Amino acid sequence: MEIRNLITFIHVAELNSFTKAAQVLGYSQSTISFQIKQLESELNCMLFERINHNINLTEKGWELFSYAQQIRQLTDEFKESISDSVDISGHVHIVTPDSICEMMLTENYGDFYRRYPQISLKFSTADTDNMFRILDHNEADVIFTLDSHVYHRDYIIAKEEKIFTHFVTGVKSPLAKKKNLSIKDIINYPFILTEKKIGYRRVFDEQLAKMSLEINPVLEIGRTDLIIDTLEKTPGISFLPDFVTDQKVAEGKLVYLNVKDFEIEIWKQLIYHQNKWISKHFEVFINYVMEHEFSW
């Protein structure tokens, strides 16, 4: 079994596309198809289901994916151990909530790239439960959570910070100048929220349920920048972390609502698996995030 074919298999599985894998690896699509067929022939099983130009890993494909990831890691570790190069290069796969992915890409990525141009970063999004499944299967290097505090002996918390959250609305909202509101005062206003069951939205809904309350938003969307833009133009309300709204509040475009009887605890955490091999490039990334803001 050739390692080259396993690397191709990993790319096809991660990108869910023969065409995209070919573009990334610099192969023709026919070469990608041939390498996958070689693997399937050697293992005597089908690795991908191919239906209407869509591909999905089979059960055996998922099993191979886990082993292939380990083989790639060991191969990279060996190459690094015998390398005399002073340049630090490699690939770091980061999984974040959808609501902060764009911020990570736009705030400090430019500085990181200037310092370490040979380290490539891949950002994916997932809910918290899937993030830990991904870590457990070694399908990503590190995760950023925006949720209730997570602690487990299988995971290393490289950095964490408790964050503040507020109900927020536009300055033209009829609620903007009101003080000492209760949750029942605002519950029937139009809400614009991040997606249900994901990160701090899940914690938010759980707290409401404890109070025998429920909010049915008029709009749900993962991107907080779009939520903020909508709040500026409508009388809607949202519930967001302060780090995504404080600039607009400082500019006088949004207002924090003083809701006296509702409070939840949310944490940002940078987490990787305790069994993760700490390559030079991964160590550089972790140290950078620990020493710099990087959307923190």
Over residues 179-198, the pLDDT tens digits come to 889 999 999 999 999 988 88
Residue type, 39: L
Residue type, 265: E
**Could you give the angle at the alpha carbon of 212 between the alpha carbons of 211 and 218, nearest 5°?**
100
Measured CA to CA, the distance from residue 198 to residue 165 in angstroms comes to 15
Comparing CA positions, the residue from 279, 296, 24, 4 lying closest to residue 160 is 296
Identify the pLDDT of residue 128: 85
Measured CA to CA, the distance from residue 224 to residue 241 in angstroms comes to 10
Q: What Rg value do the Cα atoms of the chain yield, rounded? A: 22
* DSSP classification of residue 108: S
* pTM check: above 0.85: no
DSSP assignments along 7-74, one per residue: HHHHHHHHHT-HHHHHHHHT--HHHHHHHHHHHHHHHTS--EEEETTEEEE-HHHHHHHHHHHHHHHH
Measured CA to CA, the distance from residue 122 to residue 117 in angstroms comes to 14
Identify the pLDDT of residue 296: 45
Over residues 249-295, the pLDDT tens digits come to 999 999 999 999 998 999 999 999 988 888 888 999 999 888 875 45
Residue appearing with tokens 């950002």: 123
- Residue 70: how many other CB atoms lie within 10 Å: 11
Residue appearing with tokens 């967001």: 240
Identify the pLDDT of residue 101: 66
Identify the pLDDT of residue 54: 82
Identify the pLDDT of residue 107: 66
3-state secondary structure of 49: strand
Residue 193's DSSP bridge partners are 220
3-state secondary structure of 68: helix
3-state secondary structure of 155: strand
Question: What residues of the chain score a pLDDT lower than 70?
Answer: 77, 79-87, 99, 101-107, 293-296
